[in-house]
Amino acid sequence: MIVAITKNTVEMRLFEKLMSLGIPVVCTAREPKGAAFNYVLSNNQEGAYKATDFLIKKGTPKNCTYHGPSVYANQSGTV
């Protein structure tokens, strides 16, 4: 099972149970706190740069990104 945990993920008992049943669990996006899970991290900034560069080189006229909740918006209200 691939699990994308958030910074607010604290309850890992379900995933621990799955592991105890022999079901492999791999967390993505963040290192899980506490429990000993396998996890995969990436460099999001570099990935976003490479994706944007690729789209620009392909001639895509309009590009945008979508970010999570509006709590990440800057003072002008843009994300």
33-47 residue pLDDT tens: 776 889 998 887 898
pLDDT at residue number 77: 52
Radius of gyration of the chain (CA): 17
User: Against a cut of 0.75, is the pTM above it?
Assistant: no
C-alpha pair distances (Å), 24 with each of 9, 12, 28, 29: 19, 14, 13, 17
pLDDT at residue number 79: 46
Task: List the chain pLDDT tens, one digit each, 79 residues.
Answer: 998 888 888 888 899 999 999 999 999 888 887 768 899 988 878 988 898 889 889 888 777 766 665 555 555 555 4
CA angle 10, 16, 21 (to 5 degrees): 160
- Rounded distance between C-alpha atoms, residue 58 and residue 64, angstroms: 15
